[in-house]
Amino acid sequence: MSESRTIRVGALTRVEGEGALHVSLNNNVIDRVELNIYESPRFFEAFLRGRPLEDVPDLTARICGICPVAYQMSSACAIEAALEIEIPTEIHQLRKLLYCGEWIESHCLHMHLLQAPDFFGYSSGLELGKHFPDEIKRGLRLKKIGNQILEVLGGRSVHPVNVCIGGFYRTPALDELQSLIPELEWGLQAAIETTHWISGFNFPDFVCNYDLISISNSSEYPWFGDTMGSSKGESFDVKEYEQVICEYQVPHSTALQAHKIESQTSCLFGPLARINHSRDNFHPNARELADRVNIQWPCNNPFQSILARGLEVVHAFEEALEICRNYQRPSESRIPYQPRAAVGMAATEAPRGTLFHRYEIDDAGLIQHATIIPPTSQNQKQIENDLRDYLPPLLSMEDDQVAQACERLIRSYDPCISCATHFLKLSIERVE
């Protein structure tokens, strides 16, 4: 007689959004692993249809309270590509500085309050703070600096409102950016200390054979770019994104999953992909630290993503300092343009991975069609595949222990479920 066993995590904790995990075993052999995203779809792509293109950066920013800048940047860049708007270097640098603020605040939140407690067996960041008060206070101050950058450049720390098609509504005065420098200098040293602290964690020995995908630039660590790189040796233009990677619906999730069209295989996006492709483009402190943190590169251990985030925070502080120290206020805050019928697409690197946008615009400048492919939906199939590989050695444990181990692995990807549930393919069958 066959023996069935079911392991359920009814509500994933310390992740952004609402999800669950369902594992079915038959005779102690894994039958199904389903990451259940049950958060309601939010239909953002449908909301955008018929709206003026100028509304898109502010509307898409509302998809996520943690990474709104990523949505603003991908949407603005895609529409600017459609209208062939050339962004001047000084505006591009300000956008990169805004992105630095988002990486700092998002990564520091995840490192200190969401994932770090797992390495000590604590149930929350508050419990971790009782045992490591100085480290948590340092992490919160680092996050605050990221939010301050968003306030100065974006007008407010959550859902910034200053990004527009062609640039910014207003560029900061010189003294506004210079006022950030003392905290950025403290933050750089604090980020280095934090990364050293994290490098001493006891990481589970779990190495995967990933197809790591990110923007791959030859000259700088990727926030923006036109070329996607894969650890399998392939590369493709961002314009070909939807010919290489597609989203699809699965019955157990309100969020779409994604895979490579040709091979139908999963991929991993995010800090591990970026750092494996582009750590040679780190600023000096981050590059030196990457060589000293006792990690064998390339790294394919998802639990060590927290260390990759620490190194990216160091790099972001160095980038922010360089931009602030060299800043000269642009003569114009944005480039004028004329709406016309066009199609444009762009990808930028959100904290959790590549975020792709594509827009079709009509002659009046109204959005006719929008496609948004967020990093969490692109990582979902890979997370399920990793759980299949991670579970077998754990199955002799009690169900609650297995469930806790699965949650720890899921948290290492820093999933943003609310981002992933922006849309749901709806099929209506009418019978007459």
Looking at this protein, which amino acid is placed at residue 255?
Answer: A
Closest CA to 13 of 21, 5, 1: 21
The values of phi and psi at residue 363, to 5°, are: -60, -30
In terms of DSSP bridges, do strands 367-373 and 4-9 run parallel, antiparallel, or are they unpaired? unpaired
Helix H or strand E segment including 4: strand 4-9
Residue ranges of the binding site for Fe cation: 67, 419
Cα separation values, 313 from 56, 108, 110, 201, Å = 28, 8, 12, 18
Token representation of residue 401: 């222990």
Residue ranges of the binding site for Mg(2+): 45, 372, 422
Residue ranges of the binding site for Ni(2+): 64, 67, 416
First to last CA, the chain: 46
Token representation of residue 101: 């603020």
d(CA 286, CA 320): 13
d(CA 409, CA 121): 13
Token representation of residue 72: 């603003």
d(CA 146, CA 273): 23
Closest CA to 48 of 419, 341, 365, 368: 368
HSE of 427 in the Cβ direction (CA atoms, 13 Å)?
5
Other CB atoms within 10 A of residue 24 CB: 15
Does residue 350 contact residue 374 with C-beta atoms inside 8 Å?
yes
Does residue 186 contact residue 198 with C-beta atoms inside 8 Å?
no
* Beta bridge mates, 350: 353
Does residue 49 contact residue 82 with C-beta atoms inside 8 Å?
no
Token representation of residue 423: 């849309």
d(CA 129, CA 311): 22
Chain centroid to CA 284: 24
Cis omega (within 30 of 0) on the bond before 284? no
Residue ranges of the binding site: 45, 64, 67, 372, 416, 419, 422
d(CA 406, CA 306): 16
d(CA 68, CA 86): 23
